[in-house]
Structure 1
């Protein structure tokens, strides 16, 4: 009897400073995604809390800390609140295109402006165009770049104001990395709009979830991920409904064996 893919070998990184909680260290467990069954493996790992970065799937595996928890929005049950409905209406004129994963200079310049505005001093600010191309194009799974543009005028494409590198998994969309024109005063809330657009598109495509990565209680940078309800969190017994305002955070996700 054959199996679709061999059980992957997992490895762990050396500890490094945590980017979310001061004074703590982070460590990741990871495995490679390659071969003809990379998409199936990525789907399976995504359901137990892994994220993709190029051809690697990873998950936090920190010693003595379980603050990072995987979250996903239940797309079919999402009901935008009043302010979210206003935001959707405000940006409803944007032209949205799911493009093949091919990096462009326009995308890179938008990313540079976003990082300068929102994450100055972060590690990604050191990326050059080659690094960005690797991030977009080195995907062994079903990926695309969703572009958000101002309306076309006289047949000319509008300005790119937002983008998201997105994986389509068997049960949902996984938002790998989104960026936008954070200094555009005429387009407030673009980041929130991009998330809601993904939720609505997932539901329209018959997909159950939008995976938002990790939420960290106590980290202001991650607080936005709990604005979209209903939301589920991954704990030791699998995915379950979660109210960040009332519920305790699950202790940890399912374990995997790793090679140090």
Structure 2
């Protein structure tokens, strides 16, 4: 079952910005040891926008092969071209991914009908469970709850990663859908979303605090609000630190600072500005992560 803490995995790179396969293997092993419930490979936090198609699909294949069915692998296959998204999704299915995560088309700013037709076309073209991904702060387009509800009736569309942080959307989505996963894409509000009936968090913070986020999700899904909120409060400074500059700049710096991978990141993203180093380091120290 797809639920719980789903790390939006960073893609390790060398100082020369080549993909670091040894680093990827190390990260995946670490997440298995730490209790992460699912891995999102080459989502937007994984720098999907700057990987070649060959690199994109090779990362998915490597993660699928290493996981070997132990936890679900969700492949990032979104694109602002519907045909490209279909091709990526078909390739992810061929690689053995358990589901795909399909971001709303960025820059194009389609209408709600365009969003519906885009995701419907992907789901109808490829028999792979599809999670919608709504992150208007990055894409410039906001999928309305009404459009998500329409899409929930399409075969293969199993849920949505809702990254607006607007918790009042959750009851609308849950009350008007059946067997539809509502997942958080906003770490700061993820506990409240799960306490309302959401089933997990596709998390940036889980890159640096996988065990804590996994436990927090388990508690929140079980309705244990006090315990889940206590863990979330311990992580709140980390949640904030992961966005002192645009994602994934801070989280890649933090994972490297923890000694888990090299510090490469691809243009047009640049390494974390020095003025933020201590703030991120302090947040990690405060949560007992360094």
Same fold (TM over 0.5): no
Greater RCO (CA < 8 Å, at least 6 residues apart):
1
Taking structure 2 as the reference length, the TM-score comes to: 0.27
Tell me which protein shows more helix as a share of its residues. Answer: 2
Higher radius of gyration, 1 or 2: 1
TM-score, normalized by length of structure 1?
0.29
